[in-house]
């Protein structure tokens, strides 16, 4: 059974009597998941522009689970910071030793491996970083429970390392503002790798992750941020010469489904339902919005 520990962004805010951050529960967001047959889900949305937190299912938001492939965000940062990867173009040759999805069965750059979520590449990255340095960064950043038991190339997929949705949202917020104890360059490169949708009025950045939990269940993660692009007429003398402003929102969502449930493509469903929530809140503009 998962231990529910009040840690991270949501927990700190809930427990702090002097916090000025506005917190809103959205029970109606649950219907967006239920329409797809998803009963065990949560999402936390941090609206940085209004210093507000919005969420659905608080208990699940503060429960830690395996990060699965969302850990590639952290793994990439450490690879860059330690110079294991000089940049996102680091090429690692595929050794053909295992069977992987077609997109992963070839030599890959870090950017390719991140986009295609190729496990073998990041296992090799973790081995090159080594246990001591990996533990150092987990402890320094305080990523989830910081547990690397079970092997340097398996700890984020074998349920040793665990992190909650509110901790994930706090982590990507620090990444966005280059507030992690790492170079601005490393954080900028990883942010750029996370970009998945570049639209005229918003940019969506994220990493997905899928892992086995509770024996017969899969957890489906997605964490990242969206920038809503607002056209503005800046006053004369403004430092912003682009006549547009980017308003960031940080999110983490997860839900679980039986491993045997193939009634939907849950990989795509997690993206679809996330975008429905982001649109409902206004972080992603509706099509009729200017």
Q: Give the list of residues 6+ apart from residue 110 with CB closer than 8 angstroms, or none.
A: 76, 79, 85, 87, 88, 89, 90, 121, 125, 193
Please give the Cα distance from 227 to 171 (Å, whole number): 16
Please give the Cα distance from 204 to 276 (Å, whole number): 13
CA 189 to each of CA 67, 81, 86, 184: distance values in angstroms, whole numbers, following the listed order: 21, 11, 11, 9
Please give the Cα distance from 46 to 191 (Å, whole number): 17
Please give the Cα distance from 182 to 186 (Å, whole number): 7
Choosing from 69, 76, 117, 186, the catalytic residue is: 69
Asked if 287 is an active-site residue, the reply is: no
Sign of the CA dihedral 279, 276, 253, 4? positive
Q: Which helix (H) or strand (E) holds 247?
A: strand 244-258
Residues identified as active-site: 69
């Amino acid at each position: 059974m998962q231990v529910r520990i009040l840690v991270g962004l949501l927990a700190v805010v809930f427990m702090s009597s002097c916090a000025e951050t506005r917190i809103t529960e959205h029970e109606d967001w649950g219907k967006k998941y239920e329409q797809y047959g998803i009963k065990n889900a949560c999402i936390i949305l941090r609206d940085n522009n209004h210093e507000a937190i919005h969420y659905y299912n608080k208990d699940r938001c503060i429960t830690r689970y395996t990060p699965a492939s969302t850990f590639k965000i952290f793994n990439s940062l450490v690879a860059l910071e330690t110079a294991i990867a000089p940049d996102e173009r680091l090429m690692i040759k595929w050794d053909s030793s295992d069977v992987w999805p077609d997109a992963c069965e070839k030599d890959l750059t870090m950017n390719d491996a991140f986009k295609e979520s190729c496990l073998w590449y990041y296992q090799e990255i973790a081995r090159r970083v080594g246990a001591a340095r990996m533990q150092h960064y987990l402890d320094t950043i305080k990523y989830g429970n910081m547990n690397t038991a079970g092997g340097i190339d398996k700890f984020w997929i074998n349920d040793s390392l665990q992190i909650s949705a509110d901790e994930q949202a706090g982590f990507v917020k620090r990444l966005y503002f280059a507030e992690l104890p790492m170079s601005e360059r490393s954080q900028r490169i990883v942010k750029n790798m996370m970009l998945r949708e570049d639209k005229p009025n918003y940019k969506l950045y994220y990493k997905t992750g899928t892992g086995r939990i509770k024996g017969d269940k899969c957890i489906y993660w997605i964490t990242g941020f969206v920038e809503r692009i607002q056209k503005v007429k800046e006053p004369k003398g403004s430092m912003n010469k682009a006549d547009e402003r980017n308003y960031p929102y940080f999110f983490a969502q997860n839900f679980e489904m039986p491993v045997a449930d193939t009634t939907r493509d849950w990989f795509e469903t997690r993206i679809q339902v996330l975008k429905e929530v982001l649109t409902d809140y206004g972080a992603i503009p509706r099509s009729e919005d200017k």
